[in-house]
A and B are shown apart, each in its own frame.
Chain A
Amino acid sequence: MTAAVEFQSVSRHFGSGPNAVKAVDAVDLTIAEGSFFAMLGPSGSGKTTCLRLISGFEQPSAGAIRIFGQDVSAIPPNRRNVNTVFQDYALFPHMNVRDNVAYGLMVKGTPRALRHAKAEEMLHLVQLGGYGDRKPGQLSGGQRQRVALARALVNEPRVLLLDEPLGALDLKLREAMQDELKSLQQRLGITFVFVTHDQHEALSMADSLAVFNQGKIAQIGSPEDIYAKPRTRFVADFVGSSNILPPALTQALGGPAQWASLRPEHTRLAATGPLTGTVTALRYLGAATRVVLKSGDTEIAALVPAGDPLPDPGSTAAIAFAPQHLHLMEDK
């Protein structure tokens, strides 16, 4: 399989000297062709800068970027066969939806009738057939998002870049769009690179994902891998919620003296168990209730499925778990 995008120790520094901000710091990355790749991380972690390095709106301070094997360091954005769905959609307010979608074809010199037909086809693809005559200002947020998607796809890019495209949508619409994006990607077979700070989005949509922290990739792998085997405390904490156990506690629970992660859903409340503490908080989540126990200086959360009996705040409870769910991490 060819690599759609390849980063070879790519850095992007803003400013110079000791005060330089290392937005992207020696990142190595390979995105397989036809995959749905997510870049996940908190704001300022370098994920958007990485996306802009692929589209060409940022140039690397060091390292090489290859798109389908070709070095793109001297190629401006308009000559990269890569298109972007912008976070704010960036639809042209003075053009109607059809002309927005046909824009990429228009600047290439495609005849009017042909580009309008293609635009209409794209609008059907994103379920906006018949909206061609409207102005972007007359559409809802979700519809605008689809127009931005159609506009980026009309050029038949080799790689589609999506910069937090669902961030501005409400929860229901976001979930619907997640399904739609995923099925669209599978149907078209185009490589999608998706930037998000929403771990649920990244886990549910991506074939492969990179977790960014402070300009570096903290971990890269399949969603299952990253969720089940976080390499560092940062990943365990950022992807899903987890109990992070200090080395002493891990040792007390029968493991080696190492940091460990224990997912709340792998724990259950018991009369007796290896970990006993005082119930300090109950948080109702619908399908389950999150129970927080305080044991010494550590807080441990357990998920109690709906319907199971809940402990009273202030009472003493114990947490039990299967030993294989205690995941050891690399950091010291």
Chain B
Amino acid sequence: MTAPAILPERGPADRLTAFFWRRPRVFLALLLAPPLLWLGVVYLGSLATLLWQSFYSIDEFSGMVKEDFTLKTYAELLRPANFDVILRTLLMSAAVTLGCALLAFPIAYFAARFARGRWKAVFYLGVMLPLWSSYLVKVYAWKLILAKEGIVTWAAEATHTSGLLNALLALPVIGGNSLSTSYIGMFMVFVYVWIPYMILPMQAALERVPTSMLEASQDLGASRAQTFRTVILPLALPGVIAGSIFTFSLTMGDYIIPQIVGNSANFIGMAVYQLQGTAGNIPLAAAFSMVPILIMLVYLTLAKRAGAFDAL
């Protein structure tokens, strides 16, 4: 007896498989429908509402929201007090992104190029472990570490480097009474909290650069610095940009770290929190919320124009 050319159907699962085999698009649509609904309605819908509300304004006397289309709220956004908040947030985000990028690169490079087997596991664990504990616990822990009576001050005294610490704190604007009440301290906490989001995409990008490409560069006479500048950096740039999108937007939207560490100066996240809560100024809160989105769009446009995504 010979085997049949067509195998018998085993049940409804086979029938379903046959149906999807003939109509692959239906299958794709079924797979994509839930996330697209989520993204489209819940996320983009809310965003559109937010954008819409930012064109409303608040009645100065009654404190009620006037549902008329106006640019008044945006004009208010540009008033010095509010503009300072934006500028402060922008500078902090840029500094945190740069700090993360500089610190993350060697770690990501090591993980991508040299870590194998057990070391790779140590790397992933080391990067992810801080993410497993509560964000608030980490920030409060940092507040204690950086406090005037904290371990950093103690360590500086013990190693006779108090002068260095004091000189750092004596710096105008970014210095302060102690690390935990200065921009420097806030910067350190931000870098600590967001650095995993920079390391992981960087490592993924660096891992995709074949070793032979680095060897080719060296083979053709390039020094290490030249190889880094002309081959590694351009090829890793999409990963760096991806990481910077995380660190930049996470810093821009954060409202907890600036409250706990630093000199209580207002940041965009805090402003939104206060405006939509106690002040009830939803239009201005919405306008503030649009700022990070606009900044990110400008940033990505500039990055694209500078050729950051050419290697993709």
Instruction: Report which A residues bind B (CB closer than 8 A).
Output: 55, 57, 76-79, 82-84, 86-88, 90-94, 103-104, 106-108, 151-152, 155
Contact = CB atoms under 8 A, between A and B. Distances in A.
A94 B222 contact: no
Contact of B220 (A57, A87, A94, A155): A155
Contact of B311 (A55, A87, A93): A93
A155 B221 CA distance: 9
Interface in B173-223: 210, 212-213, 215-223
B218 A103 contact: no
A90 B215 contact: yes
For the residues of B in contact with A, the DSSP-based class is helix
A308 B47 CA distance: 83
A107 B307 CA distance: 21
B51 to A, nearest CB: 36
Contacts of A103: 217, 220, 222, 230
B310 to A, nearest CB: 5
A78 B234 contact: no
B220 A88 contact: no
B226 interface: yes
A127 to B, nearest CB: 21
A78 B218 contact: yes
A78 B215 contact: no
Interface residues of B, number: 20
Contacts of A106: 230
B216 A94 contact: no
A155 B307 CA distance: 28
A90 B213 contact: yes
Nearest to A107: B222
Nearest to A80: B219
B235 interface: yes
27 contacts: A55-B215, A57-B215, A57-B218, A57-B219, A77-B218, A78-B223, A79-B221, A82-B219, A83-B220, A84-B216, A86-B212, A86-B215, A90-B210, A90-B212, A90-B213, A92-B231, A92-B235, A93-B311, A94-B234, A94-B235, A94-B310, A103-B222, A104-B221, A106-B230, A107-B217, A107-B223, A152-B220
B213 A76 contact: no
A216 to B, nearest CB: 26
A78 B222 contact: yes
Nearest to A76: B218
A84 B210 CA distance: 16
Contact of B210 (A88, A107, A151, A152): A88
Contact of B221 (A55, A93, A108): A108
